[in-house]
Chain A
Amino acid sequence: MIRFILRRLLASIPVLLLVSLITFGLLWLVPGDPASMFLDAGATAEALDRVRREMGLDQPFLVRMAQWYGRVLQGDLGQSLLLNRSVAGAILERLPVTLSLTALAFVVSVMLGVAAGVLAAVRHGRLADQGMMTLALIGLSIPEFWLGLVLIWLIAVMVPIFPAGDYVAFATDPWQWAYHIALPTFSLACVQMGFVARMTRSSMLEVLGQDFIRTARAKGLPESYVVVRHGLHNAMVPIVTVMGIMVGALLGGAVVTEQVFSIPGLGRLIIGAVLSRDFPVIQGGLLFLALIYLAVNLAVDLLYAAIDPRVRLE
């Protein structure tokens, strides 16, 4: 197991390197720089050049790249050009926000999705099954940001039940946190819920058709026990395998949800940085996202190995 983890960690390094190289490539190609964000429309070329010099942007690109790598190897992600704080600081401030949104959406979509999928499998062919699967399909096909907009319109403005955005930290006030994060979580989880529901259903159907289930039933075990203890336990395996991709999709979706609901998370930080060319934040932020993605994939693979003994033989 340890060897497995170590090997995976080692394999992550070239990926991270590639990620940072691709990012640098994009930044090299992208026109514009953050100097223009400091000044208004009437800025003169001299003023812009001066601001560039102050930001250190007049140095050749390769030099800046080398400096960045040098700093990163010492654990320093640098200073934001526009935010007045260190990149690491900005990221760590936002991380709990995005993580809580993504984690909550993950939990909600797994719980509700699995429940719906099990229900549909157990009532296979009947109305509940058709209904669930239709809902799941629709959920899969909805554009998340549009759902967010419509929810804001209906449930936050027309009938003000939930607030239309903003974020309150869990540590500050758990109830307010839940209250503010309810709508964004739902709109983010909707798509994945449909996906999990469908997968659970087909997986459950496959498992429930197998011999050992029939044996369990023949032994006289209660149906709910059979379904949950034997059926679900085995059906979870395919779900776990795609959890990594699911988290990736949720992270990507969180980026958009943060825009729609004005939540100060990592996604908004990076999009804002891209649109204002805050290079250090773009570099550090994307590297960090890649780290999270790789870490989640590793965790999922470990989980998979824990559940399915056949995989451990790798």
Chain B
Amino acid sequence: MKLKFLHLALAAALAIGVAAPAAAQKKGGDVVVAITNAPPSLDPHATSAQAARHVNLHMFETLYARDEGAKPVPDLARSVAVSPDGLTYVFTLRSGVKFHNGKTMGPADVVASIERYRKGGASASLISAIDSVSASGPDQVTIKLKTVQSTFLGNLSSPRAPIAIMPAEEAAKEMGKASPIGTGPYKFVEYKPDSHVKLARFEDYVPNPAYKERDGFAGAKIAYLDTVTFRFIPEAGARDAATMTGQVQLNETSDEATAKRLKGNPNFTVMKALPYAVQVLKFNMAQGPGTDLNFRRAIAQAINAEEILGTAYPDLYLMDQSWVYPGSPYHTGRALLKQDVAAAKASLAKSSYKGEKLIFIIDNIRPNVDAATVFQQQVAAIGVNVELKVGDWPTISGIGLKSDQGWNFWTHGFGIEPYEGPASAMSHWVKGQGQRKDDPVIDELFAKLNGEMDVAVQKKLFADFENRMADQAIAINLGDYGLFQVVSNKLKNFKPYRITRMWGVWLE
């Protein structure tokens, strides 16, 4: 009897073992990925730029990471025990995890990394609730919070400016000066500014045994490729050309025209990463007609959001105006803005706007400029006179982050915040950061959300936030847009995500 059971078990095990991998993954090969911008730093704590994430999240990992559905799950930690009062988190670390320089990861490294981030990380405010971090055992780290934070695990696992775990010796270095030594499936090889970053498979990498498959930023991150090279090619045409000629196997972002052209091409697959970001139209509520609710309402009624998105992101937009993405448990299927020119004119008449020229600042990215151009025409129809001020990002962001610099409108995308969750999505409007004027209702909702552990209540708070944003026209959520990613058919099992993940993919 026992023997038969054993035979059965063995057969079952074999069956599972054989069935699990879908197609035959091949180890080896070199892949080149074309990305738009170069990472400003390979020190993961120092920068929150998207370009840095592509590269750094292949070399570094975090205690907890977001899965495919953006839920925080264990990555370098095995598990966490949270005290009943929600103020103490005890993380049990995985054992046998190696850094790229051969050192074994231990609690000292985790503590040093978190402390470094707390002091000067790009989004240090994420973990400002931390009171103390300490090693509490051979594979244990204890974090004590000052106040309850429902979003703590979410913040810890934020991929935005990740709280990457690096060796304590690197963590001791000044911000921006740490060498790219992490625990990730790929390790650093070389960086040529304005050209490329090259990574190679880290042979001593052990995928997290708790998972079988890749899962968002977590899961089993198996590196099949020998090397991955990220080439920085800012010109869209050059990226397309490089893809067509086989110089790169993956183009981070292409456009509708190329996507149409490549339909049916046996060598390439075009994938949509949609939704990828929210296109936001911001008002300066501290100066000019933006202070007036009637004016903001008039604008919200005058525009046709679909025309704006359709021009800026042809064939690549989604008319959804919730501040998190569809698929998130906090997503509200809220009604879309309706264009009503008559109502807009009426609201405008009630407002303080006297026909003066207004400034719309935009940075030099084509879709943002296009969105502003369409907006300009649409509001001209109700008599609002808008002038576009295009500049590079340092100039424009410098103007937009101060209230007194003479801007009235600003548009750009928010990619990572809606992905991370309700608190992240709300954070930009807290303390008046985005809209330049405090809204006490939003501030209060944000504080409550942070302290509320009950998901149902959280959902209600978030819905209240969305209503407040729409009601007061604090900013306009035009909708979601995406990316066209062009993949060579030689690269197998690629799936678009927040970054171009090169684990779990292989070359044919």
Contact = CB atoms under 8 A, between A and B. Distances in A.
A83 interface: yes
A152 B247 contact: no
22 contacts: A31-B398, A32-B392, A36-B394, A36-B398, A38-B48, A40-B50, A41-B414, A42-B48, A46-B125, A47-B124, A54-B176, A84-B41, A156-B241, A157-B240, A157-B241, A165-B233, A165-B235, A259-B235, A262-B234, A264-B195, A269-B193, A275-B394
Interface of A: 30-34, 36-48, 50-51, 54, 80, 82-85, 90, 93-94, 149, 152, 156-157, 160, 163-166, 259-262, 264, 268-269, 272, 275-277
A34 B176 CA distance: 14
Contact of B174 (A42, A54, A160, A166): A54
A54 B120 contact: yes
B463 to A, nearest CB: 22
Contacts of B123: 47
Contacts of B428: 42
Contact of A84 (B42, B195, B396): B42
Contacts of A82: 40-41
Given A38-B46, A276-B392, 20 more contacts: A31-B394, A32-B392, A32-B394, A32-B398, A34-B394, A36-B393, A37-B40, A38-B40, A41-B414, A51-B46, A54-B175, A84-B41, A93-B193, A152-B241, A165-B238, A165-B242, A261-B238, A262-B235, A275-B393, A276-B394
Nearest to B175: A54
A264 B427 contact: no
A163 B176 CA distance: 36
B193 A90 contact: yes
Contacts of A47: 48, 122-125
Contacts of B161: 39
A106 to B, nearest CB: 24
Report which residue of B174, B233, B238, B427 has the largest number of chain A beta carbons within 10 angstroms of its beta carbon.
B238
Interface of B: 38, 40-42, 46-50, 120, 122-125, 160-161, 174-176, 191-195, 233-235, 237-238, 240-242, 244-245, 247, 392-399, 401, 412-417, 427-428, 433
Contacts of A37: 40, 49, 393-394
Contact of B122 (A38, A84, A90, A152): A38
A259 B41 CA distance: 23
A269 B191 CA distance: 15
Nearest to A41: B412
A40 B433 contact: no
A258 to B, nearest CB: 10
B47 A38 contact: yes
A40 B397 CA distance: 10
B48 A40 contact: yes
B233 to A, nearest CB: 5
A41 B192 contact: no
B503 to A, nearest CB: 24
Contacts of A268: 194
A163 B241 contact: yes
A54 to B, nearest CB: 5
Contacts of B235: 165, 259-260, 262
